[in-house]
Amino acid sequence: MENGEDEEAVERLARLVRPFLLRRRKSDPGIVPELPPKTETDRPVPLTREQAALYEAVVRESMLAIETAEGIARRGMVLKLLTSLKQICDHPALFLKEEHAQSGDRLAARSGKLALLDELLDTLLAEDGSALVFTQYVGMARLITSHLATRAVPVDLLHGGTPVPERERMVDRFQAGSTPVLVLSLKAAGTGLNLTRAGHVVHFDRWWNPAVEEQATDRAYRIGQTQPVQVHRLITEGTVEDRIAEMLEAKRALADAILGSGESALTELTDRELSDLVSLRRSS
């Protein structure tokens, strides 16, 4: 379908549903006029040598199996591949399920994202700032939390299994400034949390649905926020995360037209399309 036809189809759909939708965004004039500005930045991060080697090995082995599979079995393999690659992009210790990973500088040296997170937090903590760090993997949240604790950074971890009373105490500590960094699993942070002390929001990994990320960001960017909010999205260069980031931007541009299908839509890619999506592109 030509681009012009695509745009025409989207416009036709918009005309059909417009009478039934009342859509409000924080950016709409007069909706939340008192909110300060929000800046969103994609922060490209290189893979470490260990990450790159793991990434390419998993792609190579998985694609060989996927090319001979069909139906539900193939879809399951694709989902497993995507999860494995995203975990490698986060940290090798997450993918390898290392229970007693090294801590401190050695742990950060194995992941470009963790090294960048250290830099970001060092800068904002020196300015008495506070940050929310979101990840979709509880295992990664635990890695980050233990790593920051070894660096003497006051930090709490909030995930789906956190009891409500402890959850409330964590929020109180964060809002009071006694714990300037709060690490959250993305799904646990969906609703009901008011964390307006945060001037920074870090998405350690990307969710397939932009609305989920925005809902997490809204823990800080909401009524009551008095300072500008900076959103940092960590994206490993040349990986599936790069391509997913492009797809997420396309989703936003299409007014969320394909929201909800997420990862499952990627299981329908052909072998060649999947290979193009996941293959590591090394910078020349």
* Rg (alpha carbons) of the chain, rounded to whole number: 20
- Cβ atoms < 10 Å from Cβ of 267: 18
> What length does the chain have?
284
DSSP state of 47: P
Looking at residue 40, what is its pLDDT?
Answer: 94
Return the closest-CA partner of residue 46 out of 281, 230, 249.
281
CATH superfamily, with its number, for domain 33-278: P-loop containing nucleotide triphosphate hydrolases (3.40.50.300)
Looking at residue 169, what is its pLDDT?
Answer: 95
Looking at residue 198, what is its pLDDT?
Answer: 96
What are the two backbone dihedrals, phi and then psi, of residue 202, each rounded to the nearest 5 degrees?
-115, 120
Residues of the chain with pLDDT under 50: 1-2, 255, 257-259
Return the closest-CA partner of residue 62 out of 51, 72, 75.
75
**Whether the Cβ atoms of residue 180 and residue 164 lie closer than 8 Å to each other:** no
Looking at residue 176, what is its pLDDT?
Answer: 96
**Whether the Cβ atoms of residue 177 and residue 197 lie closer than 8 Å to each other:** yes
Looking at residue 266, what is its pLDDT?
Answer: 79
The residue assigned the tokens 């039934």 is 20
d(CA 70, CA 174): 49
Looking at residue 177, what is its pLDDT?
Answer: 94
pTM over 0.95: no
